[in-house]
Structure 1
Amino acid sequence: MIDVVAAFAILSQATPPEPAWTWTLYADDAPVVLANEVPDTPNLRVTLECDPGSSVARVTLYGSATAGGMARAAAGDASAVTPAESGRDGSLKLALRADHPVFAAFATDGRMSVTVAEQRRSVEVSRPHLAKLRRFAELCSG
């Protein structure tokens, strides 16, 4: 009986599992959005957004608390420098051409880094979600 009570005490103090982050593609309306989110919550890590056919992907990194300025986006062997602005919500926003080598490399392997001043953030799309990233790039391309 004491073992059962001890087990309940340990389980009640255990931390709850971390929410499941996933990539979701919203392509039913304009704009097209690819979001790294916890479904059914307002929790976001990254959103990629574009108007279909515009060839411009707007990237928003949440929880970065990075001041705006010039950002260096890098993926594979490619890099680009683009203006980035900080949002009131602690986000960092920048735009990349969907037909730029950085975005093409990102769509290929799902890894991109964004550096502003000394702060570096990584965006990673795991293998099971790469098809969504490629579909996003296809819908955005003009």
Structure 2
Amino acid sequence: MTGLTSVVLALLIQQVAPATPAWTWTLYDDNPLVLANEVPDTARLRSTFECEPGSSVVRLSLYPAAPAHGFARVTAGSAATTAAVEPARGDGLRLVLRSDHPVFAAFAANGHLGVMIGEERRVIEVQRSHLAKLRRFTELCAS
């Protein structure tokens, strides 16, 4: 009876508890080079970093985001900069950063990037297990 009770309880938990999306970082080394925070095999994105290899110009897109214009304050570690905000495809916003800027270097080192647009603050976090992808992205953008 105990085994049957355990199975029934497990099935009930699966039906009641919503599945947590498996957000991950994926590096696509096509042209353009893209580092995406996504749920694989879906259209769900939180953010993407794109660049043409060797250009040092990185386009950061944030999803979903309310329409905004003006400038964003971008921080990582003790470094800070500003970047113009423009609409991105769908419900996103886009900023342009340089991969050779101290903000991006601090981001590649610690995996934390703060973006303040008006009153909205976003923190982009690349988990330790994915830092090698971020560093490879930075290397390919700059070389």
TM-score relative to the length of structure 1: 0.89
Task: Verify: 1:11 aligned to 2:22, yes or no.
Answer: no
Post-superposition Cα deviations, 1:45-74, rounded to whole Å, max 9, x if no partner, equal: 010000000001100010122512101110
Q: Report how far residue 6 of structure 1 moved.
A: 7.0
* 8 Å contact from structure 1 (residues 66, 119) kept in 2: no
Q: Report how far residue 130 of structure 1 moved.
A: 0.2
Following superposition of structure 1 onto structure 2, how do residues 68-107 of structure 1 map, counting pairs within 5 Å? Answer: 68-87=69-88, 89-107=90-108
Q: Could you tell me which amino acid in structure 1 is paired with residue 18 of structure 2?
A: P
Q: Could you tell me which amino acid in structure 1 is paired with residue 119 of structure 2?
A: E
Q: Could you tell me which amino acid in structure 2 is paired with residue 127 of structure 1?
A: R
Gaps of 5+ in 2: none
SS of 1:96 mapped into structure 2: strand
Count, aligned residues: 140
Distance 1:8 1:21 in 2: 24
Distance 2:18 2:124 in 1: 25
Q: Could you tell me which amino acid in structure 1 is paired with residue 129 of structure 2?
A: P
Q: Report how far residue 11 of structure 1 moved.
A: 3.4
Q: Could you tell me which amino acid in structure 2 is paired with residue 20 of structure 1?
A: A
Aligned-residue identity in percent: 56
- Name the structure 2 match of 1:119: 120
Task: Verify: 1:62 aligned to 2:82, yes or no.
Answer: no
Task: Verify: 1:131 aligned to 2:132, yes or no.
Answer: yes
- Report the RMSD for the aligned CA atoms in angstroms: 2.0
Distance 1:88 1:37, change over 3 A: closer
SS of 1:94 mapped into structure 2: strand
TM-score relative to the length of structure 2: 0.89
Gaps of 5+ in 1: none
